[in-house]
Amino acid sequence: MKIIKTFRKLQREDTFAGFLFLLPSLCGVLLFFIIPFIGGLYYAVVDSPINGHFVGLKNFINLLHNDAFLKASANTSLFTMLCVPLNICISLILALMLNNRFIKNSNRFRMLFIAPLVIPVASVAFFWQLIFDNNGTLNYFLYRLGATTVDWMKTDWSRTIIIIIYLWKNVGYNVVLYLSALSNIPIEYYESADIDGAPGYQKFFNITFIYLTPSSFFVFIISIINSFKVFRETYLIAGQYPHENIYFLQHYMNNIFISLDYQKLTSAAYMMAAAITILVFILFNYQKKISTHFTQ
């Protein structure tokens, strides 16, 4: 009995101490993210910070009628919907290749694959510009082949190019994530499948695929975060007002930041935050469903 009592006491102390440990982070997150974000609601519902007349949802409605905002939202969603699945597919294929037993130096490959993380964004931007510029290398080859040259960044191709840059930069990171997940699958499963004479594709769908689902969830989240970060490269390559296909929400926000229009800024931020919260919420519930499905 005494032991249990001391244990309870310890646990209560634990809770208090645990809270102290959380305090610095919690204060910082509240002060720099949550509180000003909630405080921003004021700017989102008044006509101007100086007048301060309450206008309700007018700022939001204006935003929904703003062509630039709508275009930017559509572009950003389309870009994310295209590049995240591509990223997952390519990195999964590369990880499966690297996971073969006959590849001895898979560590070296992993290192080389995450090299794009180390290169400064500005150099990366310059390199890709060199390839896709109107006078760039790609056009040089086309010209030598006698084909017509294209000013790539100023055509519909610009989206494809940004997707290529995104994939170039982020596939390696996901390969590393998938490799670790693959190495955690017990080899006995494959052996027993071999004894049963299961074909390769069945092994993939019934063993590999299922075991990778939890990791894929994380890969998915990281890929989305990184799809927002591709703005850096886009901005450095194409500037403030790029081709309309790659005019992202980040460009929109950046441009209103320059004019410091608090109404537009806060209402747009609220919209984006709401969209992301819903996305995360759906993902979490989905993941919970899947993981309970597996434990059963």
Partner 1 sequence: MKKQAQNITIVFILNLFAFIFTFPMFFTVLNSFMSNEEIEDRYSVTAAINYDPPNIADNHFMNIGLIPDEVTIKQYYIVLIEKTQYLVMFWNSIKIVLPVICGQIIVSCMAAYSFSILKFRGKDSLFFIYIVVMLMPFQVTLVPNYIIAAKLHLVGSYLSIIFPGIFNTFGVFLLRQYISYIPNTYTEAAKIDGAGCWNIFANIIVPMSKTGIAALAILTFIDNWNMVEQPLIFIKDVLKEPLSIYLSALNEKEKGVAFAASVFYMLPMLLSFLYWEDHLVEGIELSGIKA
What residues between 66 and 95 interact with partner 1 by CB under 8 A?
94
Q: Given the complex with partner 1, which of 131 and 193 has the nearer CB atom?
A: 131
Sign of the torsion formed by the C-alpha atoms of 116, 122, 125 and 131: negative
Q: How far is the CB of 4 from partner 1 (least distance, A)?
A: 13
**Residue 286 sits in the site that holds partner 1 (CB under 8 A):** no
Q: Which of 61, 254, 285, 289 binds partner 1 (CB under 8 A)?
A: 254
Binding mask 184-203 for partner 1 (x = CB under 8 A): x-------------------
Q: How far is the CB of 66 from partner 1 (least distance, A)?
A: 16
Instruction: Reduce the DSSP state of residue 127 to 3 states and report it.
Output: helix
Angle at which helices 262-295 and 35-44 cross, to 10°: 130
Cα dihedral 195, 197, 203, 206, rounded to 10, equals -90
255-284: contacts with partner 1 (CB under 8 A): 257, 265-266, 269, 272-273, 276-277, 280, 284
Q: Given the complex with partner 1, which of 133 and 157 has the nearer CB atom?
A: 133
Q: Given the complex with partner 1, which of 219 and 246 has the nearer CB atom?
A: 219
What share of residues in the chain are helix, strand, coil (percent, to 5)? 80, 0, 20
Cβ within 8 Å of residue 220, ≥6 positions away: 84, 88, 283
Q: How far is the CB of 116 from partner 1 (least distance, A)?
A: 6
Q: Given the complex with partner 1, which of 158 and 233 has the nearer CB atom?
A: 233
Take residue 20 and report the two structure tokens written for it: 């102290």
Number of other CB atoms surrounding residue 110 within 10 Å: 16
Q: Given the complex with partner 1, which of 15 and 296 has the nearer CB atom?
A: 15
151-190: contacts with partner 1 (CB under 8 A): 168, 171-173, 176-177, 179-181, 184
Sign of the torsion formed by the C-alpha atoms of 152, 81, 266 and 58: positive
Q: Given the complex with partner 1, which of 190 and 228 has the nearer CB atom?
A: 228
Nearest CA to 129 among 246, 251, 247, 233? Answer: 233
Q: Are 84 and 170 in contact (CB under 8 A)?
A: no
As a whole number of angstroms, the distance between CA 150 and CA 142 comes to 9
87-146: contacts with partner 1 (CB under 8 A): 94, 97-98, 100, 102-103, 107, 109-131, 133-137, 139-140, 143
Binding mask 13-52 for partner 1 (x = CB under 8 A): xxx-xxxxxx-xxx-xx-xxxxxxx-xx--x---------
